[in-house]
Amino acid sequence: MSDKAVITCALNGVLTDPKQHHVPVTPEEMAREARAAFNAGASVMHIHLRQQTPNKGHLPSWEVSVSRAIQQAIREACPGVIINHTTGTSGPNYSGALDCVRETKPEMAACNAGSLNYLKVKSDNTWAWPPMMFDNAVEKVQDYLDVMKATQTIPEFECFDVGIVRCVGMYRQTGMYSGPLEYNFVMGVASGMPADPELLPILLKLKSPEAHWQVTAIGRAEIWPLHQRCAELGGHLRTGLEDTFYQPDGAKVTSNGQLIESLAACARRAGREIASPAEARQIFGIRH
């Protein structure tokens, strides 16, 4: 077990609507929310980019200038913080995501490691949204890995299902990637892995033995036993308004800082200390 738990805050996500939820959009809002999470123990900020024009904050952006402005604002608010940049896109055009990583050189970035039918069914047995494919073919993964190698950005391999965990080992085996391994087990997507603590021992058996790992738990109050088990088994920890709006007691939050406080409490109950940004950099082997 790693004695120090690195906490990541997923500040805003891609699907959350700022008109309905308290998600940050502008650089100033992102910096304010990052500071609240930073003060509560988060060393890593996972960022998504939104369009900055009025009434467009619910839509994604891949403008390099937006990425730069948000990263600069967060770094000024949170000395030593680690930026983990989103790259998730569907469809054949993902040049904007590549450009953001290439031009801004974040310390870490998501690397979605396999494809998933992204589905959800409502209580009336109709689709919550039109069925879609979150496509991450091997060629697309390679393009991301090539750019991240050039910028010395550590890829965080996002694994939405058990088979995708196994794919990461194949990327190493075939020489697609040779750097440090960081797994992110995404649990709670309706058509992916469930947010079930009993699944963790299987995932740990399938990952590369030396690799770091964390859990992204998506859902409501029911996800907190998963966070607790992750802390007990030595994983690093992540939450934020991208993943949930709810505390363990079911209360709805208004800030990322409230969620990070609860996540840090999970680590401490497991007998672990919270890693500082400098310690997180050492743990992950960040070189810039």
Model confidence over 65-78: pLDDT tens digits?
999 999 999 999 99
Kindly report the number of other CB atoms within 10 A of residue 43's CB atom. Answer: 27
- Model pLDDT, residue 2: 56
Which pLDDT band, with edges at 50, 70 and 90, does 287 fall under?
confident
Mean pLDDT of the chain: 96
- Model pLDDT, residue 17: 86
Q: Is the pLDDT of residue 42 over 80?
A: yes
Which pLDDT band, with edges at 50, 70 and 90, does 20 fall under?
confident
Model confidence over 91-122: pLDDT tens digits?
999 999 999 999 999 999 999 999 999 999 99
Q: Is the pLDDT of residue 1 over 50?
A: no
